[in-house]
Amino acid sequence: MSEVEVFPVPAEWAKRAHLDQAAYEAACRRVEADPTGFWTDVARRLDWMTFPTEIKDVSFNKEDFHIRWYGDGILNVSVNCLDRHLATRGDQTAIIWEADDPHISTKLTYKELHARVCRMANVLKAKGVRKGDRVTIYLPMIPDAAVAMLACARIGAVHSVVFGGFSPDSIAGRIQDCDSKLVITADEGLRGGKVVPLKLNVDEALKTCPGVTDVIVIRRTQAEVPMTAGRDHFYSDLKDSVSDRCDPEPMNAEDPLFILYTSGSTGKPKGVLHTTGGYLAWASYTHELVFDYRPGEVFWCTADVGWVTGHSYVVYGPLANAATTVIFEGVPNYPTSSRFWEVCDRHQVEIFYTAPTAIRALMREGDAPVKATSRKSIRLLGTVGEPINPEAWLWYHRVVGEERCPIVDTWWQTETGATLMSPLPGATALKPGSCTKPLPGVKPQLVDADGKVLEGAINGNLCLTDSWPGQMRTVYGDHQRFFDTYFSTYPGKYFTGDGARRDEDGYYWITGRVDDVINVSGHRLGTAEIESALVGHDGVAEAAVVGYPHEIKGQGIYCYVTLRTDVEPSDSIRADLRQWVRREIGPFAAPDVIQFAPGLPKTRSGKIMRRILRKIAEDDLSNLGDTSTLADPAVVDDLVKNRGHRR
C-alpha cells in the first residue's frame, strides 16, 4: 500500500475544541465503564418536560428484538430547536436563506422562526392534522421547508419529506405507503435558473392518492398553478387567520418524529422511521462534537432537506444547538463555479459541509473560481455521502481550505440518524479518504461473509454491535422488514451494507456498498428500483442494473437491457428508456449507459450473475471469474463485445 499522508491536529484546534484527543479517549472509556451515566449526560443537552429515567433498553437478538432510548422521557423537538433559545438568543439569526438567484438572501431570527412555525402548526391543526398523523412535504430549499418540518414536530405530526427531484410516481408511492392525508408543496421550485414544477408533480401524483384531502401550496415563484377547489389552498390565504402561538405537544421520547424513504437492495424504498428523543439527542450531540460547534457560529450544510443530511445538519442538529444555519436553494455551479465560496464570503460561513461529488465537479473547473473568493471566514470543512477520493480531499484541503481547515469526513446513513464515524477536529489526525474513528459510544466491527469477527488491519463487512440513540426504530409499516434487512445477515448485529477496511492505526476506510445499492452523486439508489422502472416499459423484456466508477458522480448507472423480440435496438429507444427512468423515479436516476443485451448471464437456477455484469461495466475484463456455472456462457462474450460507451 502506498504511503498515506497524515495531517496532525492543529495546535489551536486541540486547544479550543470541545474534545481533544485525551478527552475523546476518556469519553470512549467512560461509555464502557458507565454507559448509563454517559448516555444520561447525552440526554441532558435537551430540554425535557419529563427527564428520562429509563436510558437504554436494547436487544438486537431475534428473540427479544427491541430498541428504546430514553423511553419514559417527555419532550418536544420544536421546543428544543426554538423556544429554549428565545430568552437569550431570540434576536439571533436562526436561518440565512440564500436563493437560487445570487442577488436574493434573507434572514430569520429565532423569534421570527418560532412565530412562523407556530402559525404553520396552527394551520395544520385547522386542517385536522393530529398527533401521529403523517404529513408529506415536497418543497424546494426555502425556509418554509424547515418551518413545515418543525410545525409537524410541534403538534406531534410525523413528517415525510420527499426530495424535490422525485417524480410524480415516486411521490405517490411515498404518500400511499405512509397514508398521508395532507401534502405541503410550493407552486414551483428554482434550481440553477431552471423551474421545477412541484405543484404539477403533486397533482399528477395525487391521481393515485385518493386519501389526500388537503394540499397546502407555498408561493415561491408566484407562477399560476391549477388549484383543485376544496383540496388545494395557498398558504398565504390560510396563515393570517391563525395565531402565531401554539402550545407544543408533549411527546414521548419514542414517539415518531419523521419517516424518510430510502433505497435498499430489494423492493420498494423503505420508510425509515426516527423517533423524538434519541434522534434529536444524537443529531445535536454529533453536530456539536464533529463540527466543534458553538452557538451563533454560521454553519452551512449544502444538502437538500429531502435527504437525511438535510434533516440532521440543516435543520435539527443546528437549530437544537442554537446555530445560524444556511439554507441554500441553488446549485454549486450557478451562475458560476464560484457560487459556494461567494456564499461563504457573503454570509461569513465558518463551517462548510458538502458532498464529494460537488467537490469533484468543482475541482474539474480548476482553482481560479475558488481563488477569486476570500473564504477567510471558513475554519472547518466537512464531507458526507460517499467515499472521498484522496485527490479530491487534497484539493479541498489545499485550495478551498488553504491548508488551514481540518476536514471532517463523516460516515453515516439515513438509518443511523446522524454521524457515527468521523474525525473530531481537535482530537483526530486526518488521513485523506478515511472517516477515521467511531464517535464515543459507537461500536463498529468488521466481519467476513460468514460472520466471523475480523481483528486488526483488514477488509470486511461493516457492522455495529450495539445501539446509539439516533438509530432508526423500524421500517414504517413493516417491522419484520426492519429486522430482516439489518439484523438477520449477522445475528445480533446491525449490518450497514457497507464494506470497510481498518488500517494499522484502527482507522476506518469505507470501500462502498457491498449490496445492490448504488451511490450516484451521493444519492442512494437501489438497482432493483431502476430495473423495475425499466421493465415497466413496453419494449423491455428484462433488465439488470449495476454501478460503475464515475469520475464526478462516484458511481454511474449501467443498465443491461434485453428488449422484447419484436423491438429493434436503436438510439431512439435508448433515449426513450433514459427518459422513461427519469420520469419514473426522478432526473437524478437517469441511466448513464444502456447496453442492449440479447441475454443476461444467469446461473442454471435463473439467478442473474451480477458479479460478471459489474466487472464488464467496470471494464475489468481480466477477472470475470468462473463463468462455467452459467446456463449459457456464450452470453458473456456478447456482453463483452458490445460494451456500452461510458459517459
As annotated, the binding site for ATP includes: 385-387, 409-414, 498, 513, 524
d(CA 67, CA 52): 15
d(CA 338, CA 325): 20
Q: Which stretch binds ligand 6R9 (CB under 6 A): 403-411, 528-536, 543-551, 563-571?
A: 403-411
Peptide bond connecting 335 to the previous residue in cis, omega within 30 degrees of 0:
yes
Nearer to ligand 6R9, 485 or 496 (CB): 496
Q: Are 380 and 353 in contact (CB under 8 A)?
A: no
Residue 274 near ligand 6R9 by CB under 6 A: no
Q: Which stretch binds ligand 6R9 (CB under 6 A): 139-147, 276-284, 507-515, 561-569?
A: 507-515
Residue 122 near ligand 6R9 by CB under 6 A: no
Nearer to ligand 6R9, 338 or 383 (CB): 383
Residue 519 near ligand 6R9 by CB under 6 A: yes
Among the listed residues 233, 76, 242, the one whose alpha carbon sits nearest the alpha carbon of residue 155: 76
Cβ neighbours of residue 247 closer than 8 Å, sequence gap 6 or more: none
- Please, what is the minimum distance in Å from the beta carbon of residue 547 to ligand 6R9? 11
Site for ligand 6R9 in 90-109 (CB under 6 A): none
Strand (E) or helix (H) holding 5: none
Site for ligand 6R9 in 417-436 (CB under 6 A): 435
Buried b vs exposed e over 625-640: b needs ≥16 C-beta within 10 Å? eeeeebeeeebbeebe
Q: Which of 148, 510, 573, 635 binds ligand 6R9 (CB under 6 A)?
A: 510
Q: Which stretch binds ligand 6R9 (CB under 6 A): 66-74, 235-243, 406-414, 468-476?
A: 406-414
Where is the binding site, in residues? Answer: 191-194, 309, 333, 385-387, 409-414, 498, 513, 521, 524, 535, 537, 540, 582
Q: Which of 338, 410, 436, 595 binds ligand 6R9 (CB under 6 A)?
A: 410
Q: Which of 332, 385, 526, 547 binds ligand 6R9 (CB under 6 A)?
A: 385
Residue 273 near ligand 6R9 by CB under 6 A: no
- Please, what is the minimum distance in Å from the beta carbon of residue 312 to ligand 6R9? 8
Residue 412 near ligand 6R9 by CB under 6 A: yes
Q: Are 169 and 175 in contact (CB under 8 A)?
A: no
Q: Which of 98, 133, 188, 386 binds ligand 6R9 (CB under 6 A)?
A: 386
Nearer to ligand 6R9, 360 or 524 (CB): 524
Site for ligand 6R9 in 454-473 (CB under 6 A): none
Site for ligand 6R9 in 587-646 (CB under 6 A): none
- Please, what is the minimum distance in Å from the beta carbon of residue 480 to ligand 6R9? 21
Residue 249 near ligand 6R9 by CB under 6 A: no
Nearer to ligand 6R9, 92 or 413 (CB): 413
Cβ neighbours of residue 560 closer than 8 Å, sequence gap 6 or more: 543, 544, 545, 546, 595, 597, 600, 613, 639
446 forms beta bridges with 454, 462
Q: Are 493 and 60 in contact (CB under 8 A)?
A: yes
Nearer to ligand 6R9, 48 or 482 (CB): 482
Nearer to ligand 6R9, 352 or 412 (CB): 412
Among the listed residues 470, 422, 97, the one whose alpha carbon sits nearest the alpha carbon of residue 292: 422
Residue 111 CA: distances (Å) to CA of 85, 87, 124, 347, 394: 9, 9, 20, 20, 41
d(CA 349, CA 46): 26
Q: Which stretch binds ligand 6R9 (CB under 6 A): 137-145, 215-223, 240-248, 378-386?
A: 378-386
Nearer to ligand 6R9, 392 or 581 (CB): 392
Site for ligand 6R9 in 434-453 (CB under 6 A): 435
Nearer to ligand 6R9, 48 or 293 (CB): 293
Task: Read off the C-alpha cell for 484.
Answer: 430482516
Q: Which of 174, 437, 493, 524 binds ligand 6R9 (CB under 6 A)?
A: 524
**If binding means CB under 6 A, how many residues of this protein chain bind ligand 6R9?**
23
Nearer to ligand 6R9, 78 or 416 (CB): 416
Where is the binding site for CoA, in residues? Answer: 191-194, 309, 333, 521, 582
Residue 414 near ligand 6R9 by CB under 6 A: yes
Cβ neighbours of residue 562 closer than 8 Å, sequence gap 6 or more: 540, 541, 542, 543, 596, 597, 598, 599, 600
Among the listed residues 80, 145, 77, the one whose alpha carbon sits nearest the alpha carbon of residue 108: 145
What pairing do the DSSP bridges indicate for beta strands 182-186 and 194-196?
unpaired
Site for ligand 6R9 in 298-317 (CB under 6 A): 307-309
Task: For residue 532, report the phi and psi dihedrals to the nearest 5 degrees.
Answer: -65, -35
User: Cell 434576536 sits at which residue?
Assistant: 91
Where is the binding site for Mg(2+), in residues? Answer: 535, 537, 540
Nearer to ligand 6R9, 354 or 519 (CB): 519
Count CA atoms within 13 Å of residue 476 on its CB side. 29
Among the listed residues 533, 637, 625, 537, the one whose alpha carbon sits nearest the alpha carbon of residue 585: 533
Site for ligand 6R9 in 146-205 (CB under 6 A): none
User: Cell 428544543 sits at which residue?
Assistant: 80
d(CA 142, CA 189): 9
Task: Read off the C-alpha cell for 267.
Answer: 423492493
Nearer to ligand 6R9, 536 or 587 (CB): 587
Query: For the CA atoms of the chain, what is the radius of gyration?
Result: 24
Q: Which of 270, 513, 550, 574 binds ligand 6R9 (CB under 6 A)?
A: 513
- Please, what is the minimum distance in Å from the beta carbon of residue 9 to ligand 6R9? 19
Q: Are 446 and 462 in contact (CB under 8 A)?
A: yes
Nearer to ligand 6R9, 467 or 555 (CB): 555
Site residues for ligand 6R9 per CB under 6 A: 262, 307-309, 384-387, 409-414, 435, 496-498, 510, 512-513, 519, 524
